[in-house]
Structure 1
Amino acid sequence: MNKNELNSKWENIASFKNKKGYKALRITAVSIPDLFLATDEDGHRCLLLFLPKKVDVKLKGVDKSKLLISFLPSKGIVLIKLKDFDFKDLFDDLILSIYSKINLISKPVQASEEFIKTFYKWALFFEDKKVKKLGEELIQGLFGELFVLSQYLNESNPSNINSILDSWRGLYDAANDFEFDLKNIEVKTKKESTRFVKISSEYQLEKVLDKDLELVVVSVKLDLIEGKSIHDMLLEIVKQVRENLGDLSILYQALNQKGLTLENLKQYNNYRFIVTKTESLNAGHDDFPKLSISNIVSEVSNLKYMLRVTQLNQFLIESKKY
């Protein structure tokens, strides 16, 4: 089951004529649980799990502004309803996540438990959070991180894509933006004409024991016509994850750390960038010029300084022009 197949089924349901109540269609013939797509009389999209009448579902109904879940014991149905059509793409991702988790489960109780657990995991992503509006510097920095993530996802496959998604730690306020098994990566995004990047703490370029440390400098230029926004980059990443059968909840959970969603990132579409070059530097080298926790006195803290990247060619690992 993929996004295109799901869209086709929604179109089939929309074509049903003269039918009162719910219009429903089994999500796929190969699913062991009785899982159905549906729309109610008001056109709200729903996901229905039919259970044997003897199954007792322990569920306290949740009714939020955009999403609800309830159990109809007289009909043996666990129902999820989308109440805000603007979130239909995210709702489809929720459906695909539930399907991937339960489609091979033969025990109804186990299927219902996994159905409900997945709902609660995803419900957080449908909430509106009041967040402070991002400034241009933060937008540019997030764009660079998303670009680097997308580059790694280009080389991914279904067996490693979730670990790549898990490696992105920038929105969790971790010391480095990416944490892999063998190396950490700090991403700095700058205008192509700028010679410096800002190091915002003594921990950012601190090498972890038994791991390499790379500083990836992403050079960009503003271009309102040909450039991409952070929303555009996120849509590309969502597409990459879907194509490789990855777990999108990992991505949405990261965004949720800062109250970011596909919807509220649209407000920054007037900031559009083109990546002109990336440079990977060996920041773990003993001679790399930096101020970090291991080479400053303990009385000094909360460091912020500028690093001139144009004079670091001796530490260059790779340079790419776009």
Structure 2
Amino acid sequence: MRTEQLEQQWLKISADVPENGLNSIRISSSCIPELYLGIDRDGDRNLILSVPKDFKLSFRTIVKENLSIDFFADSHHIVLKLIHQPFSDLFNDLILSLYSKIEKMSTPGEYIQEFIKAFHRWNGFFSGRSSQTLSDEVVKGLFGEMIVLRHELEGSETILTNKILESWKGPYDATHDFENDLNCTEVKTMEYTKTKVRISSEFQLENVPDKTLRLCVVSLRNDDQNGKTISDLIISVRERIYQHGGDLSIFITALSRKGFFGSVQNKYDHLKFTPLRMTLYDCVGELFPKLTPKNLDEGISEVMYSILLSKLEPYKISEHALAWK
């Protein structure tokens, strides 16, 4: 199931909505729970789950700013409703994420609980769109981080998808852009013609006890003609999450920290990049050229400095050409 397929189904049922009630269509015959898309007389989109007649459900209606959930006892349906259409793209993401979780569930208690949990898990994303505007450099940095995220997803087993998504810490302004139980990775995104990499803090390349520390340099070209936007990259990462059966809400949560809600990301589409190369360096060794709290004199702080890439050759772990697929 993809966004394009959902939009085709929305289009089918939007043309002939009755004055009372709604027009609906089953989302997929392969989905074991009876899950429907519906459009009501006001043009609002609804996600509808059929509840077995013999299943006892005690439920309180919840109405939020842009999303509501209700149980209609007479027809035995739970209805999750999008109240404001500007969030329709995000509503599709919610539907696809939920669909991937419950598609094969046959126990009513399990898929009903997951349906209700989806409302609570996603509601915060519908509470408003961020007014912050990111600088071009911040957008470029996020582009590089997501290139690394996409690369990690492509080269891993599907069972690790959610752990990889959870390891992305960049949007949370953490010390390192990626961190898991074993590794920390700092990502630097730079124009391919540059010969130096900029380090913005004495903490960015500080060793973490019992973990490896890597510097990942993503080289790209500013390319107004044939480059990819951050919107393109978000779609690409999202597709890989769908393919691997991952939890899309982890990715959406990270994006939301930087204000990337659906169509809002389009305001950055004037920035286009062609990713060229990803190079990984081992930063743990004492001889690696870096400044950290350990080797700074007392009283020195808030350090920013540059490292010549030519001096990092002895510490290179790997290098990959990047091709957009």
Query: Is TM-score (shorter-chain normalized) higher than 0.5?
Result: yes
Q: CA deviation at 1:23?
A: 1.4
Amino acid at match of 2:99: Y
Q: Residue 11 and residue 260 in structure 1: after superposition, are their counterparts in 2 closer, same or farther (change >3 A)?
A: closer
Residue aligned with 1:43, SS = coil
Q: How does 1:134-283 map to 2 (within 5 A)?
A: 134-283=134-283
CA distance in 2, matches of 1:135, 1:145: 16
Aligned to 2:60: 59
Q: Deviations over 1:182-227 (max 9, x none)?
A: 3211000112222222212222101212222111111222111111
Residue aligned with 2:25, SS = strand
Query: Contact 2:89 / 2:263 at 8 angstroms: preserved in 1?
Result: no
Q: Deviations over 1:46-99 (max 9, x none)?
A: 11123348734333412324x322333444332112234443332222123323
Identity of aligned residues (%): 36
Query: Contact 2:19 / 2:41 at 8 angstroms: preserved in 1?
Result: no
Residue aligned with 1:97, SS = helix
Q: Residue 156 and residue 320 in structure 1: after superposition, are their counterparts in 2 closer, same or farther (change >3 A)?
A: closer
Amino acid at match of 2:170: G
Aligned to 1:106: 107
Query: Contact 2:87 / 2:262 at 8 angstroms: preserved in 1?
Result: no
Q: Deviations over 1:130-153 (max 9, x none)?
A: 342111211111111111111112
Consecutive unaligned residues of structure 1, counting only runs of 5 or more, are none
Q: Residue 7 and residue 156 in structure 1: after superposition, are their counterparts in 2 closer, same or farther (change >3 A)?
A: farther
Residue aligned with 1:301, SS = coil
Amino acid at match of 1:64: E
TM-score, scaled relative to structure 2:
0.87
Q: How does 1:109-128 map to 2 (within 5 A)?
A: 110-128=110-128
CA distance in 2, matches of 1:25, 1:284: 56
Q: CA deviation at 1:33?
A: 4.1
CA distance in 1, matches of 2:228, 2:3: 23
CA distance in 2, matches of 1:122, 1:18: 29
Query: Contact 1:53 / 1:75 at 8 angstroms: preserved in 2?
Result: no
RMSD of aligned Cα (Å): 2.6
Q: CA deviation at 1:7?
A: 4.8
Aligned to 1:288: 288
Q: CA deviation at 1:249?
A: 0.5
CA distance in 1, matches of 2:195, 2:28: 55
Amino acid at match of 2:156: S
Using the TM superposition, name which of 154-163 and 5-14 deviates more.
5-14
The number of residues matched between the two structures is 320
Q: Deviations over 1:17-49 (max 9, x none)?
A: 878521123334455544322111233221112
CA distance in 2, matches of 1:218, 1:21: 53
Residue aligned with 1:246, SS = coil
CA distance in 1, matches of 2:32, 2:244: 23
TM-score, scaled relative to structure 1:
0.88
Residue aligned with 1:205, SS = coil
CA distance in 2, matches of 1:207, 1:159: 28
CA distance in 2, matches of 1:186, 1:55: 51
Consecutive unaligned residues of structure 2, counting only runs of 5 or more, are none
